[in-house]
Chains A and B, each alone.
Chain A
Amino acid sequence: MTTIAVASTPLVEALLARADDALVHAHRLSEWCGHAPMLEEDLALANVALDLLGQARSLYQYAAEVEGAGHSEDDLAYRRDAPQFRNALIFELPRGDFAETIARLFLASAAMLPWWQAAMESPDARIAAISAKAEKEVTYHLRHAGEWMIRLGDGTEESHARVAAAVAKYWPYTGELFEAEHPAVAALLPDPAPLRAAFDATVARVFAEAGLDRPRDGWMQKGGRRGVHTEHLGHMLAVMQHLQRAYPGAVW
């Protein structure tokens, strides 16, 4: 069997959650490579995916060190099964059309920017250092996705309808991004409750310009942080992990 058992602690789980968010989102974005509506956007989405992959690598490296079981970043990315993944559900949903991809990138970036900003103050020097890098990158992502939200929302009837539908689709998945951390790591990672205000302010500002309505907060989908995923994650991992599963430890 190529699947590894992770020696789990609350800190390992918390680091894996954010690493898995970034890796799974990066994979979904990279699916646009060669398919984006224009060359500039093809480059942009690949660049954003690369940033997220870099964030995932830094977090996996740290998670592996904290775990102390001799696993590498690649082991954590490629040799865990879907129920061992801790990413929020929003990231594993199929990429959908361009409006859906942009809406997800916007909502996720609007939630992650205040998270990274708060994590820069972590008493854990490693988390603070990774966050200081990621915060600059996510600022770019939010700006890019936000400008597209305005362009699509304030664009044609077709683009408006598509981005409005995308927002309605992803909204019920935003709640999971603000779930409280395990009490054992609460001192090391941001308290999610106050981050809501920054998220709401970004959404309000961009939606106002885009002519979009903020969906009502109703039932929120969750489960990813406990390893309860949609069927889509397994299919995605089958593609993403294929090579390392078939040839464990392969390098090139």
Chain B
Amino acid sequence: MVSVTTLDLARVRAIAGAVVDPEIPALSIADLGVLRDVRVGDGGVEVDITPTYLGCPAMNVIAWEVEAALAQAGFGDVRVRLVLSPAWTTDWMTQAGRDALRAYGIAPPAARAGRRALFGADDETQCPRCGSVETEKLSEFGSTACKALWRCTACREPFDQFKCL
């Protein structure tokens, strides 16, 4: 058993934060904003994660992966807690995360999560492939809870958009 000290904090944060979202492997949970807090003390390591959506099926897998990654680095006594408050927002996604999403073929969410009007026009969305803003929404819901389905009318390719929340 490795004794944990506060000196390990940065290391734990780096290891836990490097775990990727199983549904979007291009994105680490640090870049996604899902990793909320890390605490290291005599009682072991505590990691807080927060769900993007309450029904997100990836949360269990992310918790297991965090435990496994820390165990591999010698941190045996790890507890992963699920926290709901404050509620996750796309504003917590880092710039590196947004760039990684775009490179992966998913349009990142708008830079600031505004309160969208209930009905009416959508914010401009840029095609992650050709960069055109000549795009249209096909469906409010995409392949996972956090994505919507769009189409580019310039390059004719369909693409996912990370919903702005």
Contacts and interface: CB of A to CB of B under 8 A. Distances in A.
Contacts of B56: 54
A40 B139 CA distance: 6
B84 A133 contact: yes
B82 to A, nearest CB: 10
Nearest to B50: A133
Contacts of A57: 54-55
B92 interface: no
A39 to B, nearest CB: 9
B72 interface: no
B61 to A, nearest CB: 15
Interface in B41-99: 51, 53-57, 84-88
B119 A143 contact: yes
A241 interface: no
Which secondary structure dominates chain A's binding surface?
Answer: helix
A119 interface: no
A132 B87 contact: yes
A9 B84 CA distance: 25
Contact of A43 (B57, B116, B119, B142): B142
A136 interface: yes
Contact of A144 (B53, B57, B140, B144): B140
B56 to A, nearest CB: 7
A136 B141 contact: no
A54 B51 contact: yes
Interface residues of A, number: 33
Q: How large is the interface on B (under 10, 10 to 19, 20 to 34, 35 or more residues)?
A: 20 to 34
Contacts of A47: 141-142, 144-145
A101 interface: no
Given A130-B84, A143-B119, A44 B54 contact: no
A52 interface: yes
A197 B45 CA distance: 48
Given A47-B142, A130-B84, 5 more contacts: A43-B139, A58-B84, A133-B87, A146-B118, A146-B119
Interface of A: 40-41, 43-44, 47-48, 50-55, 57-58, 125, 128-130, 132-134, 136-137, 139-140, 142-144, 146-147, 202, 205-206
25 contacts: A40-B138, A40-B149, A43-B139, A43-B142, A44-B140, A47-B142, A50-B53, A50-B55, A50-B145, A51-B145, A52-B55, A54-B53, A54-B56, A55-B55, A57-B55, A129-B85, A130-B54, A130-B84, A136-B87, A136-B165, A137-B54, A143-B118, A143-B119, A144-B141, A147-B140
Interface of B: 51, 53-57, 84-88, 116, 118-119, 138-145, 149, 163, 165
